[in-house]
């Protein structure tokens, strides 16, 4: 399992996608894929908070005290982070601002949010959205995960598929974007902010949370590892699709 995880992780960190985001049209195309992973991350995050803390009234104490603390600390940074302008906002809202700044198309993700606000269930919305198959597959995987898999599996996808790998995935993007000099200050702020807080705070907290939930239970550790592998493979397929879409845009 560890060998498989290392192999998929290595492939993601050396993916050809990072070197192809070389101009504004290509940046826009990349963001139109990636924004759904940004939104979907928030669903993973909040599913963990809902399960590990009490979010109902009247309040009740929860069994996983340390894990509750850890997830609440992560939520603060993801749902109401410093926006770089003296205010606070979620990372999803920050990313959408970055899309607007560079002229990326937000219609698809805005449509999703608008329909969710009406109370329509996600599984009824997704089939009717005009999204690339790889994006739909990515979203379906995580929604199925949070609805049907045990908590330690959700935590495994959250750590291995997101908090652990994101800083290293984003570094080459920052290098490419900084070198090209395109007007993408909000996107660079988003990427650099993730590198900073995920590497220094959220990654270690997410790892510890997973350790708490798995304990010394061999079966849970194995299930967590398998879920982590699935999550990384889903990200790889999303990156493959984004790469093909980006490559379809002329480099100059």
The total of structural domains in the chain comes to: 1
Polymer length of the chain: 252
pLDDT at 182: 83
* Burial bucket for residue 121 (CB in 10 Å: 0-12, 13-18, 19+): exposed
* Nearest in space to 71 (alpha carbons), one of 201, 167, 191: 201
The pLDDT profile of the chain, 252 residues, written as one tens digit per residue, is 677 899 999 999 999 999 999 999 999 999 999 999 999 999 999 999 999 999 999 999 999 999 999 999 999 999 999 999 999 999 999 999 999 999 999 999 999 999 999 999 999 999 999 999 999 999 999 999 999 999 999 999 999 999 999 999 999 999 999 988 888 999 999 999 999 999 999 999 999 999 999 999 999 999 999 999 999 999 999 999 999 999 999 877
198: in domain: yes
pLDDT at 3: 79
* Nearest in space to 91 (alpha carbons), one of 83, 102, 99: 83
Cβ–Cβ contacts within 10 Å for residue 219, how many?
9
pLDDT at 60: 97
Q: How far apart are CA 187 and CA 84, in angstroms?
A: 12
Q: Which residue has the tokens 């798995």?
A: 214
252: in domain: no
Please report, for the domain that includes residue 16, its CATH number. Answer: 1.20.910.10
Note the Cα 118 to chain centre separation in Å. 24
Query: CB within 8 A of 37, min separation 6: which ones?
Result: 138, 235, 238
Q: How far apart are CA 109 and CA 112, in angstroms?
A: 5
Cβ–Cβ contacts within 10 Å for residue 87, how many?
9
pLDDT at 1: 64
200: in domain: yes
Secondary structure, 3-state, the chain: CHHHHHHHHHHHHCCHHHHCCCCHHHHHHHHHHHHHHHHHHHHHHHHHHHHHCCCCCCCCCCCCHHHHHHHHHHHHHHHCEECCCCCEECHHHHHHHHHHHHCCCCHHHHHHHHHHHCCCCHHHHHHHCCCCHHHHHHHHHHHHHHHHCCHHHHHHHHHHHHHCCHHHHHHHHHHHHHHHCCCCHHHHHHHHHHHHHHHHHHHHHHHHHHHHHHCCCHHHHHHHHHHHHHHHHHHHHHHHHHHHHHHCCCCC
The domain in which residue 206 lies consists of: 2-247
Half-sphere exposure of 196 (CA within 13 A, CB side): 10
């Amino acid at each position: 399992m560890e060998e498989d995880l290392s192999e998929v992780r290595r492939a993601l960190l050396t993916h050809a996608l990072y070197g192809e985001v070389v101009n504004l049209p290509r940046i826009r195309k990349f963001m139109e894929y990636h924004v759904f992973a940004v939104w979907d991350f928030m669903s993973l995050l909040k599913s963990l908070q809902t399960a590990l803390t009490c979010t109902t009234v009247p309040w009740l104490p929860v069994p996983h005290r340390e894990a509750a603390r850890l997830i609440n600390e992560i939520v603060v940074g993801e749902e109401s982070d410093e926006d770089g302008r003296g205010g606070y906002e979620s990372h999803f809202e920050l990313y959408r601002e970055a899309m607007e700044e560079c002229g990326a198309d937000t219609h698809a993700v805005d449509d999703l949010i608008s329909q969710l606000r009406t109370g329509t269930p996600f599984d009824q919305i997704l089939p009717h959205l005009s999204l690339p198959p790889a994006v739909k597959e990515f979203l379906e995987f995580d929604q199925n995960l949070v609805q049907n898999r045990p908590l330690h599996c959700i935590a495994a996808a959250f750590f291995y598929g997101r908090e652990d790998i994101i800083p290293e995935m984003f570094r080459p993007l920052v290098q490419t974007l900084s070198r090209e000099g395109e007007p993408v200050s909000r996107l660079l702020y988003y990427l650099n902010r993730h590198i900073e807080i995920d590497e220094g705070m959220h990654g270690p907290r997410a790892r510890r949370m997973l350790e708490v939930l798995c304990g010394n239970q061999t079966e849970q550790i194995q299930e967590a590892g398998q879920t982590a592998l699935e999550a990384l493979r889903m990200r790889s397929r999303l990156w493959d699709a984004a790469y093909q879409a980006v490559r379809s845009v002329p480099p100059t």
